[in-house]
Amino acid sequence: MSPTRHAAARALLSDPLTNKGTAFTEEERDEFGLHGLLPPHVGTLDSQIERRRNALEDKESDFQRYAFLRELQDSNEVLFHALVQSDLPRMLPLVYTPTVGEGCERFSEIYRRPRGLFLSYSNRHRIADILSDPAYDRVKVIVVSDGERILGLGDQGAGGMGIPIGKLALYTACAGIHPAEVLPILLDLGTDNHALREDPLYIGYRAPRVRGKDYDDFVEAFVSAVNDRFPGVMLQWEDFAGKNAYDLLVRYRDRLLSFNDDIQGTAATAVGTLLSAIRKTGVPITEQRVVLFGAGAAGSGVAEMLVQAMQLEGLSEADARAKIWAVDRDGLILSDVPRMPPQQVKLAHDPADIAGWNLSGSNMITLQDTIANVKPTVLIGTSGQKAAFDERAIRTMAEHVERPVVFPLSNPISRAEAHPADVLEWTAGKAIVGTGSPFGIAGVTQVNNVYVFPGIGLGALASGATTVSDGMFMAAARRLGELHEGDEGLLPPVTALREVALEIAVAVVEQAVAEGLATAEPEALTRESIAASMWKAEYA
C-alpha cells in the first residue's frame, strides 16, 4: 500500500467525525486500507456502546467519567453521541451539570486534544485567519464564552471551554444538530483567578483579564469575523459576567442571530417550569408574589420574562413589576440605591413600597425580611449562595402559602440555595420544588436550560430567523409549561428531551412567522421538516 494510502487510512481513524473503530465493515477495510490498523473483529454500534458503558461505570468518580467521555468524543463522535443518547438520565449529569463544573476547574489537567477554538488576546489580529479553516465550513451553531462567570464557580479562564463543549453536546443530543455543524469557542482574554495564572499546568493566556475598550474591541473583531465567515450562524453567548452579558446581548442581538442562555434561556426555562407549577396550585400567574434572590444576569432575566408573562395575562407592566421583589447581596433592591447595575433598575421598588414593613433591624432589608413581609408564593434563587434558603426562610414562606413554589436554581450542587430534601421536610412535603442541578429526589424537577436552548437554536435555524426575539423565548416558555402531564414533577422526563426540543422549535418557528422574522421557504417550516432535519447518531 502506498504511503499516501497509509496516511489516508490513519487520517480516517484519527478524525472523530469519520472514525468508526471496530464498526468498519470488511468492505470498508478493503476500500480504505484499514486492515492491520484495526483488530479483525467487526463490531456494531450497539456492541461498542455496551463496551464503553462498561468502561465508564468502572471509573471511580463522576469526574473520571467526565474525562472518559471527553476522550471518547475526541476519538469517535458518533459513538460518543450514541452512548449519550442511549441513556440521557445517566449521561447528561456527566456531560454537563453538575460534573462539568469540576471539568472546567480541572480542564487544564485533562486537556488532551484540540476541540473548538481558543481565540486568545495574543492572537487578536489572527481571528479571521483562524476561523477560515475549511474544517469549519459546515458550522451552523457556535457557543462562545470568555470563562469569567462559569456556573457559580466564577472565573475559570481557559477552563471555561468546558461549557461551550458541553452545551454543544446537548445541541446534538437533544436538537439533532450534526456534530460537524457545531463549534465551541473560548475568548481567552486572561483570567483574574490568581491560582490559575500561577498553576504550571494552566493552558490559557497568563495575564490579568483584558477589560474596557480593549475587551470591547476584541469582541467586536470576533463578531465581525463570525459575521463574515458564517452568515446565518446561530451564536449562543454563555457564562459571561453580568455587565458584559447584558452589554453584549444588547449590542449584538440584531447584528447576528444570537442569544444569551444565562439571561434568556434561564428565564424561559424558569418561567416555563413556573407555568407548569401554577397549573398544580391553581393560582394564576397574575396572582403570584415572587421573590428573586440573586439579581445578576440570570435573576434579572427571569424577572423580565415574568413581567412579560403577567402582561400577556392582562396585567399592566407596573402591576406586574409590583409583584416581583428582587434581593441581591446588598439586600432588597430599592430605587434609592446609588450606582445600581443597569439590569437592576427596572427591578427596584420605590422605598415607599416598604412603608410599614416589620424589619429585623439590619443595615439592609434581608431575604428573610422580604419573605416575611411579601409572603411570596414563589421563591427563586439564582445567587450562587449555598444554603441561602434556610429553614427559617422556608418555614416563614410556608406559613402563608398552601403550596409554596421553591426553585433553588444555582449550579453546581455545591452552590444551590437549598437542598430540596430540606425544603420538602420544612414544608411537610407541600412545596413544589425545582432545582438547577439533578438531586435524584422523586418529585423534584431539574429546571435545566437543556429543556429550552436546543429547541430555540433549532427553531431559529429552521425558520431562517433574522433575530431571536423576546417573543420567541416567551413562546418557548409557554410551550414548555404545557408539555408535562401527570402528578410527578413539572417537566417531561429527560428521556423525552428530543421530543421537547422539537416542540420548542415548532413554537419558535410559529412565533418567528408571526413576527415576520422567518425567511425560510414555507415547506421548511413544518413540524415534519424540522423533525427530518434532526441528526441521529448512526454510522454512515
| 107-141-65-70 Cα dihedral, nearest 10 degrees | -60
Cβ–Cβ under 8 Å, residues 388 and 329: no
Scan for cell 412545596, then name that residue.
431
Residue 169: which residues within 8 A CB-CB, separation 6 or more?
73, 80, 81, 84, 95, 96
Distances in whole angstroms, Cα of residue 46 to Cα of each of 43, 57, 454: 8, 17, 26
The HSE-up count of residue 266 (CA atoms within 13 Å, CB side) is: 30
Residue 123: which residues within 8 A CB-CB, separation 6 or more?
130
- Per the annotation, the verdict on 171 as an active-site residue is no
> What angle, rounded to 10 degrees, do the helices at 62-73 and 162-175 form?
70
- Is there a cis peptide before residue 404, judged by omega within 30 degrees of 0? no
Main-chain dihedrals φ then ψ at residue 259, nearest 5 degrees: -155, 165
Q: How many whole angstroms separate alpha carbon 78 and alpha carbon 80?
A: 5
Cβ–Cβ under 8 Å, residues 424 and 397: no
Of 20, 66, 140, 167, the active-site residue reads 167
- Per the annotation, the verdict on 167 as an active-site residue is yes
Q: How many whole angstroms separate alpha carbon 118 and alpha carbon 184?
A: 9
**SS3 of residue 158 by DSSP:** helix
Cβ–Cβ under 8 Å, residues 294 and 382: yes
Of 96, 205, 252, 451, the active-site residue reads 96
Cβ–Cβ under 8 Å, residues 382 and 293: yes
Instruction: Write out the H or E segment, with its range, that includes residue 293.
Output: strand 290-293
Q: If you compute the radius of gyration of the chain from its CA atoms, what whole number of angstroms results?
A: 24
The HSE-up count of residue 197 (CA atoms within 13 Å, CB side) is: 13
Cβ–Cβ under 8 Å, residues 500 and 483: yes
Scan for cell 414544608, then name that residue.
427
- Is there a cis peptide before residue 412, judged by omega within 30 degrees of 0? yes
The HSE-up count of residue 496 (CA atoms within 13 Å, CB side) is: 11
Cβ–Cβ under 8 Å, residues 417 and 156: no
Amino acid letter, 297: A
Cβ–Cβ under 8 Å, residues 33 and 1: yes
Residue 504: which residues within 8 A CB-CB, separation 6 or more?
451, 452, 454, 455, 456, 458, 459, 476, 479, 480
Cβ–Cβ under 8 Å, residues 533 and 141: no
Main-chain dihedrals φ then ψ at residue 232, nearest 5 degrees: 85, 0
Q: How many whole angstroms separate alpha carbon 335 and alpha carbon 502?
A: 42
Catalytic positions are 96, 167
